[in-house]
Amino acid sequence: MRHLLLGNEAIAYGALSAGVAVAAGYPGTPSSEIIETLLEYRDRFVQWASNEKTAVEIAYGAALAGARALAAMKHVGLNVAADPLHSAAYTGVVGGFLIVTADDPNMWSSQNEQDTRWYGLQSYIPVLEPSDPQEAFKMAKEGLMLSEALEHPVILRSVTRVSHVRAPVVVEPPAPPKFGKFARNVERYVLVPQNARRRKAEVLRRWDSFADLSSRFLSIEGDGEVVVVASGVGYLYAVEALERLRVKAAVVKVGMPVPLPKKLADVGAGEVVVVEEGDPVVEMQLRAMGVKTRGKIDGFFPKIGELTLRSVVEGISKALGLGVRLPDPPTPPLQPPPRPPYLCPGCPHMGTFYAFKIASAGQKVIWSGDIGCYTLGINTGQQDLATHMGSSLGLGMGIAVADREKLVVATVGDSTFYHAALPQLIDLKTKKVPLVLVVMDNEYTAMTGGQPSPSRSVPAERLAEAVGVKHYVIDPADLKRSVEIAKAAVADAKSGEPVVVVSRRPCTLEALRHARRSGFKPPKFYVVADKCRSCGICYNVLKCYAIAKLPDGKAWIDPSLCSGCSMCAQVCPYDAIKPTEPEKVGKWLELWSQA
Amino acid sequence: MVTSVVIVGVGGQGVMTLARWLGRAAMAAGYDVKIAEVHGLSQRGGSVEVHVRLGDRVYGPVVSEGDADYVVAMEALEALRAFRYIGGNTVLVVNKRVIQIPGRYLDPEQVYKALQTYKNLRLVPAFDIAMKIGDPIYENSVLLGYLAKLLGVDERVDWLDERNRRAFDEGRRLASGDLQPSASSMAS
């Protein structure tokens, strides 16, 4: 049966058909749907972990005990899990251990575009690379079985254009989960230096044998004087580009780019064109084998961003000296202004940012940000940095001790707080760094589609209390009270005390979904045009996306976007913003807080 | 032969759903299909773009600049932004609606006028029809009906519920050249 599946769904079904029993991951675009799909299968242990390291460790431990296990994350997440990853190659595993990472070239929703395949070379772990959802299904299944056969972890590298491509996929039914039993093997599993040294020799011995194994994932299509070596999604672009250019070529399709099979050393007597997504990982290995290549290293294809049919057509044309240049695309008759992403209308973070903006007015503030929806605080000028998970408190502490004249307000979402900020919270207390840590708690990992965060079972203020840091809790939809408490927190930090403010209200989108399901229609707000004095507080300071500025400066609320949060009515100094159904406002805020 | 469709709009409008449903309709009509989605940053408010390619055998999932057969915009400013996908014979289908950008205001009539300089424009009142059916969320089903008719994949859409089906039929009717929304289906 063919289903129209997302690459990530196909990966989940592939793992299921291989009898995966344990799976863990941390949400991150473009990887989240792998665990989301597996969560439907209750006969297995499938969990969102608090971060990628924990996820990899759960799967690694399960595989040591002989289970078939999978860990899923986005490319940058593998950095967080890099420590256990490298050790996993040294100990090897007993069951199957598949690490799935989804890379995000062009950084559609990431802070860098690193190529996971380097991790394969660095940690001595083979990497499989599918080109489309059908292959993703197949390779997830084969990867898990291969890992078990080799007693060695295997990485499956996806990219945005595989993970988030939907295509017809033929799937096989799930196999029963294979759990296991742990058998002691101290020499293998306890990596004290003496044992680790022995294991390194074993890893290298295995690595040599993997090079031949990867020929299983190699196929050659067509023939011609030109030889194109293509890996992953690069294969699809290469086939289409060759068709477009009417070039007859032998296409060597590489399914396991790390390590490359030694027999590729004989490929093509002349120069080989290499098409791959990300860094020149295949090309570099080919050069190390003595093959002459034309690819990214010498600039035939761009080193930045995703492959596109255009860049591959032009790259192959350049590499073969065909002189084909595609015409420039047309320009629009009217240049539309950029539409940067904004916080959703009614986002609780909108209220949190507003409260801290008012509370810190007149102070020199460094807004130390983090990775999540709330990075969009950049639109109100309240994000001065956001570099990686945990940058808010981590870098914020460094800035606070280096630049003592400024006030640091570190903003972190709930999911990121549990992911990265907990050990930092301990440093905050023990080093007594004076700053305000704002936990923007909307009880979901909202940016990746609303996965549950640990917020409800482990409230952030309880952790602050346990650590011994002063803390407050606010409801950001109550702006007056939020501003008061934000002022108190700012005063605490100014007096030299670290302080935590947990700002809690569930994600608006989740609340709206709940309301829709229960048949409740939230109220809307509208602007009484006569009363509006064009002050712009609602659209300039609160920056609600649903509020447009009319040509005369007055505000207008788009009823199709308004979520009924009431924050604009609270900030309006002229009482010009009213609800359509006043009796519903309180009920809605109440329902929302329970979403 | 592969047909390339680029669908654009604003986060929250149901761009992904439109693309997914179009893909299902194409698959039901016997085509191979690839849909390239980008999700993540823009739940609400950002520019969203999805590519759908259908044919006997589809390789690349992404449509290149100047290469689209159809550009479908759920919002008029996004239609302008998607001009780079337009080639010689591209049909540009635009929902007659402007979603303003915070802090800016563009006169919708000026936007439509700019769009009308393009010969193959079809301005579709999907938003108005959706509002008459009772909720803006149906505008993507109007566009689905319109597009499915143009592509000849409008036969099997059995997953649509009653109101989405009504929106779909309105869109289909508009694409058939009957430019007046029918009175019967408008009564809600």
- What amino acid is encoded at A360 in this protein? S
Tell me the pLDDT tens digit for each residue of A239-286.
Answer: 999 999 999 999 999 999 999 998 898 887 789 999 999 999 999 999
Among A34, A339, A516, A538, which would you mutate to test the B interface (most chain B Cβ atoms within 10 Å of its Cβ)? A339
Question: At residue A593, does pLDDT exceed 50?
Answer: yes
Phi, psi of B85 (to 5 degrees): -85, -10
- Reported as a pLDDT band with limits 50, 70 and 90, residue B185 is very low
**Please, which residues 122-151 of chain B have a Cβ atom closer than 8 Å to chain A?**
136
Give the one of B40, B60, B77 whose C-beta lies nearest to A447's C-beta. Answer: B40
C-alpha to C-alpha distance for A178 and A173, rounded to whole angstroms: 15
Which ipTM did the prediction report? 0.92
pLDDT digits (tens, 9 = 90+) for A535-588: 999 999 999 989 989 999 999 998 888 999 999 999 999 999 999 999 999 999
Domain A511-593 carries which CATH code?
3.30.70.20
Residue B46: band (very low, low, confident or very high) from pLDDT cuts 50, 70, 90: confident
pLDDT of residue B187: 37
Nearest chain A CA: its distance from B28 CA (Å): 10
B74 and B48 Cβ atoms separated by less than 8 Å: no
User: How much is the mean pLDDT over chain B?
Assistant: 90
Contact B44 A550 (CB under 8 A): no
**Which CATH number is correct for A348-505, 3.40.50.1240, 1.10.10.10, 3.30.1490.20, 3.40.50.970?**
3.40.50.970
Query: Which stretch of A250-264, A379-393, B29-43 has the lowest confidence by average pLDDT?
Result: B29-43
Q: Among the listed ranges A109-118, A322-331, A397-406, which one has the minimum average pLDDT value?
A: A322-331
Cα–Cα distance between A359 and A356 in angstroms, integer?
Answer: 5
Class of domain A216-320: alpha beta
Dist. CA A411–CA B2, nearest whole Å:
47
How close B175 comes to chain A (CA, Å)? 25
What is the pLDDT at residue B40? 58
Q: Which of A264-273, A403-412, B30-39, B173-182 has the lowest mean pLDDT?
A: B173-182
How close B30 comes to chain A (CA, Å)?
11
Nearest to B102 among A165, A344, A539 (CB): A539
Query: Is residue A48 within 8 angstroms of chain B, CB to CB?
Result: no
| Alpha carbon separation from A430 to A43, A395, A427, A463, A468 (Å, rounded) | 43, 16, 5, 14, 10
Closest CA to A412 of A340, A492, A500, A343: A500
Domain A216-320 shares a fold with domain A511-593: no
Euclidean distance between CA atoms B124 and B73, whole angstroms:
10
Reported pTM: 0.95
3-state secondary structure of A544: coil
Which residue out of A251, A371, A545 would a mutagenesis test of the B interface target, given it has the greatest number of B Cβ atoms within 10 Å? A545
Chain B touched by A329 (CB under 8 Å): yes
pLDDT in tens, A444-489: 999 898 999 999 999 999 999 999 999 999 999 999 999 999 999 9
B92 and B142 Cβ atoms separated by less than 8 Å:
no
CATH class of the domain at A2-191 = alpha beta
A344 is in an annotated binding site: no
CA A377 to chain centre: 19
CB contact under 8 Å between A164 and B38, yes or no, is: yes
A535 is an annotated ligand-binding site residue: yes
Express each pLDDT in A99-157 by its tens digit. Answer: 999 999 999 989 999 999 999 999 999 999 999 999 999 999 999 999 999 999 999 99
The response to whether A568 counts as a known ligand-binding position is yes
pLDDT value, residue B42 = 55
* Closest residue on chain B to A542 (Cα): B102
Domain locations in chain A as residue ranges: 2-191, 216-320, 348-505, 511-593
Asked if A548 has any chain B CB less than 8 Å from its own CB, the reply is: yes
B159 touches chain A (CB under 8 A): no
From A563, A585, A571, A442, select the one nearest A513 (Cα to Cα).
A563
Model pLDDT, residue A340: 82
Contacts for A58-62: CB closer than 8 Å, 24+ residues apart: A58/A22, A58/A24, A59/A22, A59/A23, A59/A24, A59/A97, A59/A99, A60/A84, A60/A88, A60/A93, A60/A97, A60/A153, A62/A21, A62/A22, A62/A95, A62/A179, A62/A180
Q: Is the pLDDT of residue B41 over 70?
A: no
On the question of pLDDT at A310 being above 50, the answer is: yes
Per the prediction, chain A carries an average pLDDT of 96
**Complete DSSP assignment for A323-366:** ---PPPPPPPSS-PPP----PPTT-HHHHHHHHHHHHTTTS-EE
Is A347 labelled as part of a ligand binding site?
no
pLDDT band, residue B43 (cuts 50/70/90): low
A498 touches chain B (CB under 8 A): no
Q: For A574, what's the count of Cα atoms within 13 Å in the CB-facing half-sphere?
A: 15
